[in-house]
Amino acid sequence: MRLHRNLCFSVIDGLTLIFNEGKYADKVIQQLLKRDKRWGARDRAFVAETTYDIVRWKRLYAEIAEVKEPFNRDNLWRMFAVWATLKGIKLPDWKYFEKTPTRKIKGRFDEFSKIRKFRESIPDWIDNVGLEELGEEKWTKEIAMQNEQADVILRTNTLKTTKEKLQNILFDQGIETEPIKGYNSALKLVERANVFVTDAFKNGFFEVQDASSQLVADFLDVKPGMKVVDTCAGAGGKTLHIASLMENKGQIVAMDIYESKLKKLKVRARRNGVHNVELKVIDSTKPIKKLYNKADRVLIDAPCSGLGVLRRNPDAKWKLEPEFLDRIRETQQEVLQQYSKMVKPNGKLVYATCSVLPSENQNQVEAFLKSEAGTNFSLVKDKKVLAHTSGFDGFYMALLERKG
């Protein structure tokens, strides 16, 4: 591979914004990709993947390059040189790469690779939490998998097409996919491609959604005609899936504390041909209380640490803080306590997160079941999805039933 100056400069600019100005990697990369209309698919992939790689391996590369935060541009070029050297890419004779100690880089890589927190490039505190909660063996495998690049997975919108038809439509547009055993609506891209520019996407035939995330709506056991409340709907990944399982019949109330997220859901619902969703911003306890004892199904796709989806959001490793984790655990129990009241007798509730930590998952459900609000509920089943055993995102989901 030959390095192109303007692409490498874009990566360095992006890293400056992400590391020094606290910007989100996905947003920064979106902006970078708009820089030069002449860039082809390969150039764009280089900018996106290199930036993500250096974000993912920040701690390891900084140790090897012997640089400390806040990184100046020279520091970032040194980290870039580490990235290129470890990838076996020949460095051009640009001034930024003068005196790059290639052999020393490889030696330091071998040395640091012996210690998990360096090898997997994670803050000490995350390594400690993972170890404490999952144990040495599971955590070592899980965090290694969380550093792999995730596959692109689509969810067929069965309101508009079938999985087989979608596969053919995409094939005709040059995109090869394969079904995934055990995941009803999922198709995996054989090679990465920008699926958002396809007519199939614009026509609402699919959404991009990880395979583990696709298990949640199935778990909720919805039927056409039901009243379903999606309490933490966000931009509606699961709401749209629920709507397709309900064949657009019945009612879905999609709620969130952020109106901006629900606005995105509105756009997506239109594209998906979903007609049975009502949006409600949670700006007080009122909208929740109005729905007490009314819902056949309630989904709590709770806010969480995101420690199951680091493959997609590698910068979360650097943005997460122990205090946030403590606060979010409290919120998780609060939403379970409050939102469970919307379930009607004999109705069902799913509590889900995209975390692999038991303290955000089964421990929350256990605490809820032991509390007063939980006495009416029993656990039907739960599923702990780890990335290293499933090959997809880390997730947790529990199905609870309210007694009659």
**Residues 53, 120, 210, 256: which binds ligand SAM (CB under 6 A)?**
256
235 is a site residue for ligand SAM (CB under 6 A): yes
Q: Which stretch binds ligand SAM (CB under 6 A): 25-33, 128-136, 228-236, 395-403?
A: 228-236
In angstroms, how far is CA 20 from the centroid of its own chain? 23
**Distance, CA of 30 to CA of 46 (rounded, Å):** 13
Q: Which residues of 348-362 are buried (b: 16+ CB within 10 A; e: fewer)?
A: bbbbbbbbbbebbbb
**Residues 261, 271, 341, 388: which binds ligand SAM (CB under 6 A)?**
261
| DSSP string for residues in 149-184 | PPPPEEEE-TTT--HHHHHHHHHHTT--EEE-TT-T
User: Binders of ligand SAM among 283-342, rule CB under 6 A?
Assistant: 301, 303, 331, 335
Nearer to ligand SAM by Cβ, of 75 and 212: the residue is 212
**Residues 15, 55, 64, 233: which binds ligand SAM (CB under 6 A)?**
233
Residue 71: what residue type? F
Q: Which stretch binds ligand SAM (CB under 6 A): 243-251, 254-262, 309-317, 368-376?
A: 254-262
Residues 6+ apart with CB under 8 A from 82: 61, 64, 65, 105, 109
Angle (CA) 378-383-386 rounded to 5° is 150
Per the annotation, binding residues for S-adenosyl-L-methionine are 256, 283, 301
Nearer to ligand SAM by Cβ, of 360 and 401: the residue is 360
Q: Which residue in the list 8, 232, 304, 354 is annotated as catalytic?
A: 354
Nearer to ligand SAM by Cβ, of 13 and 207: the residue is 207
| DSSP string for residues in 312-343 | T-TTHHHH--HHHHHHHHHHHHHHHHHHGGGE
Q: Which stretch binds ligand SAM (CB under 6 A): 32-40, 107-115, 235-243, 381-389?
A: 235-243
Residues 6+ apart with CB under 8 A from 37: none
Nearer to ligand SAM by Cβ, of 164 and 259: the residue is 259
Nearer to ligand SAM by Cβ, of 117 and 280: the residue is 280
Per the annotation, binding residues are 256, 283, 301
Nearer to ligand SAM by Cβ, of 121 and 305: the residue is 305
Nearest approach, Cβ of 236 to ligand SAM (angstroms)? 6
Q: Which stretch binds ligand SAM (CB under 6 A): 52-60, 124-132, 190-198, 250-258?
A: 250-258
The pair of structure tokens assigned to 110 is 């071998």
Nearest approach, Cβ of 339 to ligand SAM (angstroms)? 7
Q: Which stretch binds ligand SAM (CB under 6 A): 60-68, 151-159, 226-234, 371-379?
A: 226-234
Q: Do 396 and 362 meet the contact criterion of CB atoms below 8 Å apart?
A: yes
Q: Taken in order 361, 366, 369, 373, is the CA torsion positive or negative?
A: negative
Is 8 a catalytic site residue? no
**Residues 232, 269, 365, 387: which binds ligand SAM (CB under 6 A)?**
232
Residues 6+ apart with CB under 8 A from 354: 212, 213, 304, 306, 308, 309, 393, 394, 395
Task: Name 295's bridge partners.
Answer: 343
> How many of the chain's residues bind ligand SAM (CB under 6 A)?
17
**Residues 94, 258, 292, 324: which binds ligand SAM (CB under 6 A)?**
258
**Residues 115, 190, 208, 257: which binds ligand SAM (CB under 6 A)?**
257
| DSSP string for residues in 347-363 | EEEEEEES---GGGTHH
Nearer to ligand SAM by Cβ, of 105 and 252: the residue is 252
In angstroms, how far is CA 289 from the centroid of its own chain? 30
**Residues 17, 274, 282, 342: which binds ligand SAM (CB under 6 A)?**
282
Task: Name 280's bridge partners.
Answer: 255
Residue 65: left (phi > 0), alpha (psi -120 to 50), or beta? Answer: alpha
Residues of the shown chain interacting with ligand SAM in the complex, contacts defined by CB under 6 A = 231-238, 256-258, 261, 282, 301, 303, 331, 335
Active site amino acids: 354
